[in-house]
Structures are given as structure tokens and as C-alpha cells.
Amino acid sequence: MDQLDYKIEDAVQLNKPQIAALKKLEIFTARDLLLHFPFRYLDFSKTQKLKELKTGESVSVSVTIKTIASRFSFRGRMSLAEALVSDDTASVKVVWFNQSYLAKTLKKGEAIFLAGTPEVYKGTLQFVNPIYEKASDFPVHTSRLVPVYHLKSGVYPKTFRNLVKSCLPLVSGLSDDLPAKILNQHELPNLKDTVRFSHFPENLEQAGLANKRLAFEELFINQLAAQKTKLELRAKAAYPIGFDQALIKNLLARLPFELTPAQKKAAWEILQDLEKNLPMNRLLEGDVGSGKTLVALMALAQAAGAGFQTVFLAPTEILAKQHFETAKKYILSPQSLSTDTRCVLFTQNFSIVNSKETKKRNLLEEIREGMPGLYFGTHALLQKTVKFKNLALVAIDEQHRWGVEQRAELIGSQAKVPHLLSLSATPIPRTLKLARFGELDVSQIRTKPKNRKAILTRLVDSRDRQKAYAFIEKQARAGRQAFVITPLIEESDTLGVKAAKAELSVLQKAFPNLKIGLLHGRMKGADKDTAMADFLANKTQILVSTSVVEVGVDVPNASVILIEGAERFGLSQLHQFRGRVGRAEHQSHCFLFLSQETPEAKERLSAFCKTADGFELAELDLKSRGFGEIYGQAQSGWNFKYFNPDYLALIEPARQAARGLLTDDPGLKKYPGLWAKIKDKIIHFE
């Protein structure tokens, strides 16, 4: 066995807590350890003589211990170690609080390196709690760019760096999966040098080269999987669904409004794709309230009208039910579809055909027999017991929360691959679409219906909170409703932000004459439905909610949304919240409150107040906070560890390199290491 693949405890000396901590980091072997890279560096590369020290500057010094002893501080009620160190220019005092054991670890006359920031105490310059290590030709914790890793409790940073150093000689056994031609073309280091440069760089240039290589490899693997999926799809057949002009005309005639030009263009692109016998793979991207759902329903209606089964997957039961009701309203009529077609809601809590509740076992049997229709549901439709017979089209709402893998789960043993339409209400910058969705064609809806009024957005000073409450009460008296969004469910003292349950109590006191509801992700499905149904029926005038209402929830009567702790959300996520109002003819308002009023937060949110274009906000998020913020904290769907907005320029080269490699070797027979990395990422449609 290669030494790199020895168990980590066999490669280096470890105790049980350290082994357990490393396993939590998925470090089981020496190879895993070397490929666990730092995420930043402490810059202790500047070395100085003691005489040159200045306060507030991070430095390293090479000194000799003159004296060292432990003592107890009665004022601070703690033990500490005190030392006097010197070089050939001066002497300086060093204090380590709560580390009295160092008086035994370090000896008088010993040469050591120290790294830290000098400070003045009672007129005397000193080091407080500096990093130390014994002098050597290869310092690990001082006198260099010191790597900082994501770690778990049980293993300390110094211990981890020492482990990496001890395993570093094994780097010579690492094999590189990226072809040398590609590395040379893009001036990237090989894997062996990348590991050395990343863990113990001699300078910032080496660290930058290592990070660039890791980001490129991540993008390249992603693009390789995307392009391979595209090749697989081209080899498969789908159901060709002819354009039914009469059906579409009848459907459009039932709408109380006219489609926008952008909706018409997107719909036509999709309907043209459906006519082909190759599986459609398209992303329908549109701003909040732009009418994506209706465009998707047109495609689903045409497929269902042709006698096929279609699926519309939504991330939440609330949203699935909303799409189901919209379909019944606009599509379910003898003029639009054949009398054999059904609108079906299938979730954990619902089993409804048209307007009639149906036993699930009966519905499952009808699905197996091929009952044509529009099936709306959540992950419940992905269960193994749900077996479609002639599934022709799958639409996935808010695709960044799902991923294209769901189509493969729905196929089962069907002879043909269903067309795929992914929807996203969160505009994605073009560069990121290439990085994350390289296998998808893209349609965009950038304009909103003509009757939509701009939502007046304001950053509210905490002193004006009562004025905001008075405005909400005035709106409620006029028959309108309001959302109140909080970042958390439970109160958090450490974060200092408002939570939904605590906010409910506050608002009940502030609005004694109004009914207030609560909605959050931990509630049972039935309770969520009740809360949403009461709000839709105006039985509650204010709905306190977490980000569970971020996407898709449509309450036309809501005219105010108040967002607590607004600085904790990305601009695109705030834009999603704002889109919960302004969905009817009423003038709507969005109020932003800060839990931490920093200048940076105020500047960022002031820009949000002035911008109504979700595409522009996504670009601002990308530049200021990184792509994870485009989707909020927990549900970004971006699985990149090393790629970040600093490396946007690498996307197209990685894309071209992946295409070139697959052109040369479609099956990756020459590159088994690359195949091993992507085989679980590509979507197989056998």
C-alpha cells in the first residue's frame, strides 16, 4: 500500500481525540491530510530585530530566553508565564496568560521564534500571548506565511500544522489528474508543487499560484461533468411534443392579462425545444414577479394536452400547492386541454386530482398506468413508489435548491428521457451560470408585467420603528396585509438578531387589535399550510416568518414587508423577500431594519433601496460578498471550496479545456483519474 494511503494514525502519532477530530474533517489518510488545504494565512513573514519593534505591526523575531517563570496574577485571577527575551539589539518582556506550563516547556538560554503584535503596557513594549516555536531552519508557526485551516474541536492549529509538516515528504508520491498540457497552457503548478505552495508558501506569489490551481481544477472538473452530461443527453431520445396552436391560443385567451414580449420569447424557445426528439435542458431565469411560472405552465399544458405526464417540482409544499391552484385557475378547462387530462397535487400531506381528494394508493396506480396530466409536488414525487409511465417534461422550480439530478430519479425504467425545464427567480450572473450550469441552455425574462408598481424600499432608522408600525397598522385598516421577516427561528443572544418567535410576542403587544401569524421551517407541514391559508384569507393581517417565504409565495393583498436584521441577508435574497409584495395593483413598501448598524451595511443596503433590478443586485452581491450570498447562507447549492469571485476569469478557460479534452477523448479512457472524479457528478440516463 502507498504510504499516502496509510491510516493517518499509522502515518503520524495521534491520540484518540485527535483521530476523532480528523475523521470529522474526513481526514482518514496521509493523502487526505495533505489535500486539506488552508483557507487563509497569518502573515508573520516580516522578521525584525527587537530594537525595530513597533506597536500594532505583526512580526516575527528570533530571540533567546534570558529568564522565564510562572506566577499567579491575583488581579486577573489566572496563572501565567513571564519571560524576558533578547537578541543582539534589545530585550523585551513576554507574557502568556493561562499558559503557566510554558515555564517548564521553554528553558533559559533556549533559542526560539516568536510571532505576534507588540503592544505597550505601563509604558513598556511587550508581547502578549505570541505564537512560539523552537528555532529551526524550517519554521512552521512563525517567520513565514502561516497557514490557517478549518478544524474541529480536538485538534489545535499548531498540532495540525506539525502533522502536515511531518507528512510533507510523502508529497512526492502524489499523482496529478490534470494533464500537463493544460497546466502548462494556463501556467499552473503541478499537484506536488501546489501542495507545497499551499501549506508552506515561501511568499504570497506561491500561495496565489496554489489557490489559482485549486480554483481552476474545481472549475475544470465541474465543466467536464457538465459537458459530459451534455454529450450523454445528445445520445438519448425524448418525446417530441408538437406545437398545439389551438391549445396555446385557448390558454392565453383565458388570462386576464397579456404576456410580456420577454415571456413570449421564452415560451417560444421552450416550445421549440419540446418539438425535438432530443431532451431539452433549459434554465428559465427571471426576476421576481416576471411571470416565469406561467411560461412553465404553458409548456406543461402542451405536453399534458398531447397525452403525456408532466411534473412540476417545487421546494416547499406551500409553493407546490400554489402552482397547483394557479394551474387549475388558468389551464383546467375543456377549451384548454382534453377532458382526460388532470391537474394533480401530490405531496406528503396532499393527494388531490383536480379538486377531489384521492387515496394515494389509487393515485399511484393511475400514475403507473400513465394517466396524463400536470403533477405538482415536492420531493414526495421522487419516492421509489412513484413510477411514471410516459413522463415527457419535468419543470423544477428554484433549481438551485434541487439540481438536475432529480430528473434522473424520476425516469426509472422509462424508454425516453423527459425534457427538463429548470426555473430560477434568483438572477444568476452570466459567469456563474457558465460555472454552475454549463450543460443548460438559458432563457431569460427580465421585464415585469405592465401593471406592476415599483416597490418603495427604505432603510429605516431604529428610532423610527414606531412610525413603521403605525404605517403597517394604517395599511391593515385599509384591508392590506404585511410580512415581517426575521433571520432566525429562536432568539440568539450571541448574534444579537431578532428571531421569529420572539418577534411574534413583540408584535402582539405592538398590534393588539390585529391577528398575527407565525411561519417557519421547523413547523409541521399542516401547521405551515394553516398559517399560510389564514394569511391568504386575510384571517391574519401580519405574518411573522423566516426565509421560508423567500421564494414564490404569492399573496396579492400583502402591501408591506418589514425585514429585520437585513444586513444578514444577501442582496438577491432581500430582493426575493421584497418580491413577496407588489404582486397586485396596491402600492407596496419594503422596510429594512439593521441589527448591526455598520457603515458597510448601510452603504450596501442603501444601494439595494435604489435598485429594483434583480440581475444588477446579483452582480453587486457577487462583487461585494461572493456568489454564496446570491442565495443566502444555507441553500446556495454552490459546492465550490476554492473558486470565488477573484477567479471569474478562469471560468471560460476551464470550460474550453474541458471541451477540448472531451473532443479528444469522449470516454476519458486516457484519464481514469478524471473519470473517477466526475462519474458521480454526471447524470446518467440509462
Over residues 529-554, the mean pLDDT reads 83
Question: What is residue 498's predicted lDDT score, i.e. its pLDDT?
Answer: 65
Question: What is residue 493's predicted lDDT score, i.e. its pLDDT?
Answer: 43
How do 558-563 and 481-485 pair as beta strands?
parallel
Length of the chain as a residue count? 686
Same domain, 330 and 467: no
Question: What is residue 470's predicted lDDT score, i.e. its pLDDT?
Answer: 95
Q: Residue 526, Cβ neighbours under 10 Å: how many?
A: 11
- Burial (CB < 10 A; 0-12, 13-18, 19+), residue 481, is buried
CB 622 within 8 A of CB 636: no
CA distance linking residue 351 with residue 34, whole number of Å:
51
Same domain, 269 and 373: yes
Torsion sign across C-alpha atoms 353, 355, 361, 362: negative
CA distance linking residue 72 with residue 78, whole number of Å:
6
Residue 431 has pLDDT above 70, yes or no: no
Question: What is residue 686's predicted lDDT score, i.e. its pLDDT?
Answer: 46
Question: Residue 640: inside a domain, yes or no?
Answer: no
CA distance linking residue 114 with residue 63, whole number of Å:
8
Domain boundary among 377, 410, 445: 445
Question: What is residue 684's predicted lDDT score, i.e. its pLDDT?
Answer: 56
Give percent above pLDDT 70 in the chain.
90
Domain boundary among 401, 420, 445: 445
Structure confidence at residue 359 as a pLDDT band (50, 70, 90): very high
CATH of the domain at 93: 2.40.50.140
Q: Which residue has the higher pLDDT, 9 or 195?
A: 195
Counting the structural domains of the chain, the total is 3
Structure confidence at residue 1 as a pLDDT band (50, 70, 90): low
Contacts of residue 317, defined as CB under 8 A and 6 or more positions apart, other chains included, come to: 347, 348, 349, 350, 378, 525, 528, 529
CB 614 within 8 A of CB 147: no
Question: What is residue 552's predicted lDDT score, i.e. its pLDDT?
Answer: 60
Question: Residue 16: inside a domain, yes or no?
Answer: no
CB hemisphere CA count around 209 (13 angstroms)? 21
Give percent above pLDDT 90 in the chain.
57
Note the pLDDT tens digit of each residue in 580-621: 998 888 899 999 999 888 898 899 999 999 998 888 888 787
Please report which helix (H) or strand (E) contains residue 613, including its range: none
Of 487-491, 562-566, 595-599, the range with the lowest mean pLDDT is 487-491
Rounded to a whole number, what is the largest CA-CA distance in the chain? 96
CA 339 to chain centre: 43
Same domain, 260 and 337: yes
Residue 458 has pLDDT above 90, yes or no: yes
Same domain, 436 and 476: no
Same domain, 435 and 493: no
Note the pLDDT tens digit of each residue in 296-318: 999 999 999 999 999 999 888 88
CB 288 within 8 A of CB 447: no
Structure confidence at residue 340 as a pLDDT band (50, 70, 90): low
Over residues 212-227, the mean pLDDT reads 92
Note the pLDDT tens digit of each residue in 239-289: 999 999 988 998 888 888 889 999 999 999 999 999 999 999 898 988 888
Residue 320 has pLDDT above 60, yes or no: yes
Contacts of residue 497, defined as CB under 8 A and 6 or more positions apart, other chains included, come to: 486, 487, 488, 564, 565, 568, 595
Residue 82, domain extent: 46-143
Q: Which residue has the higher pLDDT, 633 or 612?
A: 612
Q: Which residue has the higher pLDDT, 72 or 196?
A: 196
Same domain, 491 and 577: yes
Question: What is residue 496's predicted lDDT score, i.e. its pLDDT?
Answer: 47
Question: What is residue 450's predicted lDDT score, i.e. its pLDDT?
Answer: 75
Question: What is residue 636's predicted lDDT score, i.e. its pLDDT?
Answer: 40
Average pLDDT, the chain: 87
Residue 102 has pLDDT above 90, yes or no: yes
Residue 336 has pLDDT above 80, yes or no: no
Question: Residue 375: inside a domain, yes or no?
Answer: yes
CB 383 within 8 A of CB 391: no
CB 94 within 8 A of CB 114: yes
Same domain, 337 and 462: no
292 is written with which cell numbers?
Answer: 416565469
Same domain, 429 and 347: yes
Domain boundary among 102, 118, 143: 143
Residue 633 has pLDDT above 50, yes or no: no
Question: Residue 261: inside a domain, yes or no?
Answer: yes
The torsion angles phi and psi of 307, rounded to 5 degrees, stand at 95, 10
Closest listed residue to residue 448, CA positions, set 292, 616, 266, 555 = 292
Question: What is residue 232's predicted lDDT score, i.e. its pLDDT?
Answer: 81
Residue 490 has pLDDT above 80, yes or no: no
Question: Residue 538: inside a domain, yes or no?
Answer: yes
Closest listed residue to residue 595, CA positions, set 572, 633, 569, 630 = 569
Contacts of residue 209, defined as CB under 8 A and 6 or more positions apart, other chains included, come to: 188, 189, 193, 194, 197
CB hemisphere CA count around 362 (13 angstroms)? 8
Structure confidence at residue 377 as a pLDDT band (50, 70, 90): very high
Residue 459 has pLDDT above 80, yes or no: yes
Q: Which residue has the higher pLDDT, 682 or 345?
A: 345
Same domain, 423 and 562: no
Please report which helix (H) or strand (E) contains residue 588, including its range: none
Question: Residue 72: inside a domain, yes or no?
Answer: yes
Question: Residue 534: inside a domain, yes or no?
Answer: yes
Residue 4 has pLDDT above 50, yes or no: yes
CATH of the domain at 479: 3.40.50.300
For helices 204-234 and 651-664, the axis angle rounded to 10 degrees is: 50
345 is written with which cell numbers?
Answer: 397535487
**Between the CA atoms of 463, 466, 472 and 478, what dihedral angle is there, to the nearest 10 degrees?**
-130
User: Helix/strand/coil (H, E, C) string of 77-131?
Assistant: CEEEEEEEEECCCCEEEEEEECCCCHHHHCCCCCEEEEEECCEEECCEEEEECCE
- Round the CA-based radius of gyration of the chain to a whole number and report it: 30
Same domain, 465 and 439: no
Same domain, 391 and 486: no
Same domain, 298 and 412: yes
Sheet strands (E) in 510-639 = 516-519, 542-545, 558-563, 589-592
Question: Residue 371: inside a domain, yes or no?
Answer: yes
Residue 75 has pLDDT above 80, yes or no: no
